[in-house]
Amino acid sequence: MENILLKYMAERFNAVKEERTVQQKNLPFVTISREFGCPAKEVAKIVVDKLNLSNEKKQHAQPWAKLSKEILQAAANELNIEPGRIQKIFNDEKRGTIDEILNALSDKYYQSDRKILKTIDKVIVDFAMYGNVVIIGRGGMSVTRHLPLGIHVRLFAPLEWRLQRLIETSQCQTLDQAKTLSKKIDFKRNALLKSKTNSERFEDDFDVLYNCKYMNEEEISDSIIHLLQDKKLI
C-alpha cells in the first residue's frame, strides 16, 4: 500500500496543484470513536484490509488506510513542531496561564493549544476529503459531520468488560490500574467530543453504535462495510 501520509503531504502542501474535494473524487471515509478498551484499531484494520482486497480488481483504485497517529504527524509538519508536543495536549491536564506564557517566551516554535487543536481539526477534514480513510479518534466525527460521504461509528461496552480486556491485552497490569486509566481517558475523550459538538449527548451524532461486548471485531467490521454499501458509498 502507498504511504498515504506522504501522498497526502505532497498534495496538501503543493500550492500549484488544484485542490481536490471529496465531492470531486467521490470517495468515502469512516470515523471511529471509542470508549477506552474497545478495539478500534483492530476494527479499523479489518475494515481497511477487506476494502483493499475488494479493490484489487479495480484499476487505479485509491487504497484505503487507517489513520490515528498519522494525523498528529501531519499537524506537526504543518506547524513545524515536534509531534510529541501535540501528543502532550492529549496526555496532560490543562496547563495554567503562567506556564503557557513561559513556554511562549522560551520556545520560538511554541504554538498555543488552540492553534494546534484547530490545525488537527483541519488535517482531519483534509484526510476525510482525500477519501478512503478510516480515522480513529481525535474527535473525527465532530469535525467531519458536515461532509456528505462519511460513516461515523461509536464503539462502547460495559466498564467491566473493558477493564477485563485491558488486562487480557496487557495494556494494564491490575484492575485498579485499569479503572484509574479508563476513568481518566474516557473523561478526556468525552470532554473533547462534548466541546466540539456543544452537546452533552454527542452519541446522537453518530450513524451507528456497536456494543463490543456482544459483537466481535469481524462482525463490527462487516457491519460497517455493509453500511457503506447500503449507502452506496462503495
Give CA separation, 184 vs 53, 129, 175, in Å: 38, 32, 14
DSSP conformational letter for 202: G
Mean pLDDT, to the nearest integer, of 34-52? 96
What percent of the chain lies above the pLDDT cut of 90? 50
- For the record, the C-alpha cell of 168 comes out as 487480557
Is the pLDDT reported for residue 90 higher than 80?
Answer: no
Is the pLDDT reported for residue 80 higher than 50?
Answer: yes
The Cα–Cα gap between 85 and 206 comes to 30
Mean pLDDT, to the nearest integer, of 71-81? 80
pLDDT at 7: 62
pLDDT at 6: 58
The Cα–Cα gap between 203 and 228 comes to 20
Model pTM? Answer: 0.80
pLDDT per position as a tens digit, 175-225? 999 999 999 999 988 888 888 888 788 888 999 999 999 999 999 999 999
CB 15 within 8 A of CB 9: no
Is the pLDDT reported for residue 138 higher than 80?
Answer: yes
DSSP conformational letter for 55: T
What residues are paired with 4 via a beta bridge? none
Mean pLDDT, all residues of the chain: 82
Helix, coil or strand: residue 66 = strand
